[in-house]
Amino acid sequence: MELLDRNYYRMLDDTELLRAAADSPNAELAVVLGERMEAVVTEMESDIYDYRERAADFERDCNRLDDEKYQLECEIVRMEAIIDGMAAEIQQLKETAK
């Protein structure tokens, strides 16, 4: 009869299973609750692994974007220096032309 009880408990959804545990706890019910808990732990561990992988991907993306930002800032500084040099040259040519 124990195997039949265990199979019956396995067919219950979580709410019904918890209700049965509150009403009449027994060894078969404990086994099924343990199985459910193990399944949830396994699923949560898998989810945690996935979230850590996503976090690592986001960190790599942030580092890449930070590198690109730095390169663009360097390019802006270089272009500003060229513009300043050209402005000075234009000013010098205007003064020479007078």
Confidence at 82, pLDDT banded by 50, 70, 90 = very high
Confidence at 1, pLDDT banded by 50, 70, 90 = low
pLDDT of 47 strictly over 90 = yes
The proportion of the chain whose per-residue pLDDT surpasses 90, expressed as a percent, equals 92
pTM comes to 0.62
Question: Which 3 state secondary structure label does DSSP give 33?
Answer: helix
DSSP 10-71: HHS-HHHHHHHHHHS--HHHHHHHHHHHHHHHHHHHHHHHHHHHHHHHHHHHHHHHHHHHHH
